[in-house]
Amino acid sequence: MNWSDVGTWIKGNAGSGASLVGSLLTGNVPGAIAAGIALVGSATGTSDPAQALAALQADPSAIIKLKELANQEQASIRQHIQQMEMARLNDEQAEHTEQQQTIRSGDNSGDEYVRQTRPMMARQSWYATMTYIIGFEAATGLKLFDSGANWDLAMILLAPAAAYLGFRSFDKWSTQKP
């Protein structure tokens, strides 16, 4: 049992007043987690996550006390949550920056082989995908096979070309809501 388990339970069961405390416990900023542990410890009287969870589940007055403490410390809790979000965003930005620097260093390399590797892989990916799709669809049309190209396999073959063209974050793009 760890504190993130307690935080998950709090977010799902303790109501809106205490859900911010649960967010602190499930975060990744040590100061925010410590603040959440202190609040839960004050409400339950224990610093052990298993005992704290048991106390919260068994005693409704512990949840009420936690909500009261959360209301008193709401500004501090929101500040910790903001720090957690900033840490996450900074991590994503650093990852993106590193990726772009790696790509640029290859594209600007003095070595012709290094400079042409990514475009060559993209072209080979495109050629292999088109050959696969056209070949299997033609074979199906000629009744050599019962089914044509497998689209999952075609997308795997196409992935290097798509990455070269800039579809590096398709998973994030496809899950965004308008």
Whether the pLDDT of residue 157 is over 90: the answer is: yes
Whether the pLDDT of residue 164 is over 60: the answer is: yes
Q: What does the alpha-carbon distance between residue 64 and residue 68 come to, in Å, rounded to a whole number?
A: 6
Q: Is residue 102 a part of any domain in this protein?
A: no
Q: What does the alpha-carbon distance between residue 6 and residue 38 come to, in Å, rounded to a whole number?
A: 13
Confidence (pLDDT) at 177 = 56
Confidence (pLDDT) at 93 = 93
Q: Which residues contact 127 (CB under 8 A, 6 or more apart)?
A: none
Confidence (pLDDT) at 178 = 53
Q: What does the alpha-carbon distance between residue 139 and residue 106 come to, in Å, rounded to a whole number?
A: 39
Q: Is residue 105 a part of any domain in this protein?
A: no
**Residue range 34-51: mean pLDDT, rounded:** 87
- 117 and 60 in a common domain: no
Whether the pLDDT of residue 128 is over 90: the answer is: yes
List of long-range contacts for 157-161, beta carbons under 8 Å, 24+ apart: 157/125, 157/128, 157/129, 157/132, 158/125, 158/126, 158/129, 159/125, 160/121, 160/122, 160/124, 160/125, 161/122, 161/123, 161/125, 161/126, 161/129
Q: What does the alpha-carbon distance between residue 11 and residue 7 come to, in Å, rounded to a whole number?
A: 6
- 168 and 137 in a common domain: yes
Domain that holds residue 119: 110-175
- When mean pLDDT is compared across 107-116, 135-144, 153-162, the lowest value belongs to 107-116
* Number of compact structural domains in the chain: 2
Whether the pLDDT of residue 171 is over 70: the answer is: no
- 121 and 85 in a common domain: no
Confidence (pLDDT) at 116 = 86
Confidence (pLDDT) at 18 = 78
Q: Is residue 101 a part of any domain in this protein?
A: no
Cβ pair 61, 15 in contact under 8 A: no
- 74 and 22 in a common domain: yes
Sorting pLDDT into bands at 50, 70 and 90, what band is 12? Answer: confident
Q: Which of 41, 61, 90 is the last residue of a domain?
A: 90
